[in-house]
Structure 1
Amino acid sequence: MSDDVQARHARAEEALRRTSASLVLLDLGGRTATGFVISSEGHVATSLHAVASARAITAVLPDGARSPVVQVAAVDERRDLAVLCLPLSNRVPALPLGPPTLPSEGEALHVVQAHADRPPETRTLEVRAVQVLGEWLTLLELTRTLPEDASGSPVVDARGQVVGLATAALANGRALGLVIPVRYLAPLLKTPGPPQPLSALDTPRQRAPRVRQVPQHPLGLLDGCATPAVESVAALLGQAINVGAPAYNRGDVEGCYRLYMHTAEQLIDERDDCPGVQRALRDGLLRCEGMKDAEDRAWALRDTFDGLMDVIGRWRQSRPASPTPASKRPPPKTYLN
Structure 2
Amino acid sequence: MSEGPDRTPPRDALVLASPSLVVLEVEGRTASGFVATAEGHLVTSLHAVSGARSIGAVMADGVRSEVVQVVALDERRDLAVLRLPLPDIVPALPLVPGPLPAEGDTVYVLRAVGRPAPEVRSQEVRAVQVLGDWLTLLELTRTIPEESSGGPVLDSRGTVVGVATAALANGRSLGLVIPTRYVMPMLRATSTAPLSVLEGPRRRAGRVRQVPQHPLSVLEGASPGTVEAIGSALSQAINVGAPAYNRGDVEACYRLYARTAEQLIDARGDCPGAQRALRDGLLRCVELTDADDRAWALRDTFDGLLDVIQRWLQARPPTAPGRKPPPKRLLN
Quickly name the TM-score band, shorter chain normalised.
0.5 to 0.7
- Distance in 2 (CA, whole Å) between partners of 1:125 and 1:234 is 38
* Aligned partner letter, 1:163: V
**Is residue 76–residue 82 contact of structure 1 (8 Å, CA) maintained in 2?**
yes
Q: Which residue of 2 aligns with 1:136?
A: 134
- Distance in 1 (CA, whole Å) between partners of 2:36 and 2:143 is 25
Which of residues 54, 57, 62 is equivalent to 2:55? 57
- Alpha-carbon deviation of 1:268? 9.1
- Distance in 2 (CA, whole Å) between partners of 1:295 and 1:234 is 14
- Alpha-carbon deviation of 1:246? 6.2
- TM-score (normalizing by structure 2): 0.66
> SS at the partner of 1:89?
coil
User: How has the CA–CA distance of structure 1 residues 119 and 106 changed in structure 2, closer, same or farther, with 3 Å as cutoff?
Assistant: same
Q: Which residue of 2 aligns with 1:175?
A: 173
User: How has the CA–CA distance of structure 1 residues 189 and 105 changed in structure 2, closer, same or farther, with 3 Å as cutoff?
Assistant: same
- Alpha-carbon deviation of 1:200? 1.8
Q: Which residue of 2 aligns with 1:80?
A: 78
**Is residue 61–residue 114 contact of structure 2 (8 Å, CA) maintained in 1?**
no
**Is residue 75–residue 200 contact of structure 1 (8 Å, CA) maintained in 2?**
no
- Alpha-carbon deviation of 1:114? 1.1
Give the share of equivalent positions with the same residue, in percent: 53
- Distance in 1 (CA, whole Å) between partners of 2:90 and 2:116 is 19
Q: Confirm or deny that 1:197 pairs with 2:187.
A: no
- How is 1:154-303 mapped onto 2 (pairs within 5 angstroms)? 154-192=152-190, 194-203=191-200, 204-206=203-205, 240=237, 244-245=241-242, 248=245, 249=247, 250-252=249-251, 253-257=253-257, 294=297, 297=300
- Distance in 1 (CA, whole Å) between partners of 2:268 and 2:13 is 53
- Distance in 2 (CA, whole Å) between partners of 1:55 and 1:199 is 7
Aligned pair count reads 262
> SS at the partner of 2:14?
helix
Deviation string 1:99-152 (CA, Å, 9 cap, x unpaired) is: 242221111110000125894201111111122222211111111111111110
> SS at the partner of 2:66?
strand
**Is residue 25–residue 33 contact of structure 1 (8 Å, CA) maintained in 2?**
yes
- Distance in 1 (CA, whole Å) between partners of 2:49 and 2:38 is 22
- Distance in 1 (CA, whole Å) between partners of 2:235 and 2:76 is 24
- Distance in 1 (CA, whole Å) between partners of 2:90 and 2:257 is 47
User: How has the CA–CA distance of structure 1 residues 262 and 70 changed in structure 2, closer, same or farther, with 3 Å as cutoff?
Assistant: same
**Is residue 144–residue 174 contact of structure 2 (8 Å, CA) maintained in 1?**
yes
Q: Which residue of 1 aligns with 2:91?
A: 93
**Is residue 167–residue 176 contact of structure 2 (8 Å, CA) maintained in 1?**
yes
Q: What is the RMSD computed on CA atoms of the aligned residues?
A: 4.0
* Aligned partner letter, 1:33: A
**Is residue 70–residue 85 contact of structure 1 (8 Å, CA) maintained in 2?**
yes
User: How has the CA–CA distance of structure 1 residues 246 and 103 changed in structure 2, closer, same or farther, with 3 Å as cutoff?
Assistant: closer
Which of residues 23, 26, 31 is equivalent to 1:33? 31
**Is residue 240–residue 263 contact of structure 1 (8 Å, CA) maintained in 2?**
no
**Is residue 240–residue 259 contact of structure 1 (8 Å, CA) maintained in 2?**
no
> SS at the partner of 1:11?
coil
- TM-score (normalizing by structure 1): 0.65
User: How has the CA–CA distance of structure 1 residues 257 and 238 changed in structure 2, closer, same or farther, with 3 Å as cutoff?
Assistant: closer
> SS at the partner of 1:58?
strand
- Alpha-carbon deviation of 1:241? 5.9
Q: Confirm or deny that 1:106 pairs with 2:114.
A: no
User: How has the CA–CA distance of structure 1 residues 55 and 241 changed in structure 2, closer, same or farther, with 3 Å as cutoff?
Assistant: closer
Q: Which residue of 1 aligns with 2:119?
A: 121
**Is residue 12–residue 122 contact of structure 1 (8 Å, CA) maintained in 2?**
no
User: How has the CA–CA distance of structure 1 residues 242 and 119 changed in structure 2, closer, same or farther, with 3 Å as cutoff?
Assistant: closer
- Distance in 2 (CA, whole Å) between partners of 1:89 and 1:157 is 27
* Aligned partner letter, 2:160: V
User: How has the CA–CA distance of structure 1 residues 257 and 95 changed in structure 2, closer, same or farther, with 3 Å as cutoff?
Assistant: same
Deviation string 1:177-222 (CA, Å, 9 cap, x unpaired) is: 1111100001001224x31111122223237xxxxxxxxxxxxxxx
- Alpha-carbon deviation of 1:240? 4.0
User: How has the CA–CA distance of structure 1 residues 186 and 34 changed in structure 2, closer, same or farther, with 3 Å as cutoff?
Assistant: same
User: How has the CA–CA distance of structure 1 residues 256 and 168 changed in structure 2, closer, same or farther, with 3 Å as cutoff?
Assistant: farther
- Distance in 1 (CA, whole Å) between partners of 2:266 and 2:109 is 47
**Is residue 41–residue 81 contact of structure 2 (8 Å, CA) maintained in 1?**
yes
**Is residue 24–residue 114 contact of structure 1 (8 Å, CA) maintained in 2?**
yes
**Is residue 53–residue 201 contact of structure 1 (8 Å, CA) maintained in 2?**
yes
User: How has the CA–CA distance of structure 1 residues 236 and 206 changed in structure 2, closer, same or farther, with 3 Å as cutoff?
Assistant: closer
